[in-house]
Chain A
Amino acid sequence: MKNILEVKDLCKTYIVNKRQNNVLRDLSFTVGEGEMIGVMGPSGSGKSTLLYTVSGMDKMTAGEVSFCGKKMNGLSENDLAEMRLDEMGFIFQQMYMMKNLSVLDNIILPAVKSRRNTLSRKEIVERGRVLMKKLGITEIADNDINEVSGGQLQRACICRSMINKPATIFADEPTGALNRSSSNEVMDELERLNSEGTTIMLVTHDVKVAARCSRVIFIVDGNIKGEYNNKREDTLRQRERDLNNWLLEMGW
Chain B
Amino acid sequence: MAERTKIIIENLSKKFGSVEAISSLSATFDACAFTVILGPSGCGKSTLLHVIAGLETASAGKIFFEDREVQNLPARERGCAMVFQDYALYPHMNVEDNIGYALKLAKVPKTERRERIGRVAEVTGLQSVLERRPSQLSGGQRQRVAIARAIVREPRVLLFDEPFSNLDAQLRHDMRRELAELHQRIGATSVFVTHDQIEAMTMADKILVISNGRIEQFGTPDEVYHAPESTFVAGFIGSPPMNLINGTGDGGAFKLRDGTVLSECGWNGHVVLGIRPESVRVDRQGAVALKVRYCEKLGSHSIISAELADGQPMRLTTPLGSSAEPSSEIRVNFPAKQLHWFDSESGKVIPRRSNGIES
Specify whether A and B are partners. Answer: no
